[in-house]
Amino acid sequence: MLFDTHMHLNARQFAEDREATLERAIHAGVTQMVVVGFDEETIPLAIELAETYEQIYAAVGWHPVDAIHYEERHLEWLQTLSKHPKVVALGEMGLDYHWDTSPKDVQETVFRKQIRLARNLNMPIIIHNREATKDVIRILQEENAAEIGGIMHCYSGTVADIQPCLDMNFYISLGGPVTFKNAHEVKEVAKAIPLDRLLIETDAPYLAPHPYRGKRNEPAYVKLVAEEIARLKEIDFDKLCQITNRNAIEIFRINS
Is the pLDDT assigned to residue 184 strictly greater than 60? yes
CATH of domain 2-252: 3.20.20.140
Please list, in sequence order, all residues whose beta carbon lies within 8 angstroms of the beta carbon of residue 103, skipping any fewer than 6 positions away: 68
**Partner residues linked to 75 by β-bridges:** none
Residue 185: predicted pLDDT: 97
Residue 135: predicted pLDDT: 98
Is the pLDDT assigned to residue 69 strictly greater than 70? yes
Which sequence spans correspond to the domains of the chain?
Answer: 2-252
Strands 198-200, 56-60: pairing kind: unpaired
Is the pLDDT assigned to residue 256 strictly greater than 90? no
pLDDT digits (tens, 9 = 90+) for 48-65: 999 999 999 999 999 999
Is the pLDDT assigned to residue 255 strictly greater than 90? no
pLDDT digits (tens, 9 = 90+) for 83-141: 999 999 999 999 999 998 999 999 999 999 999 999 999 999 999 999 999 999 999 99
Residue 191: predicted pLDDT: 98
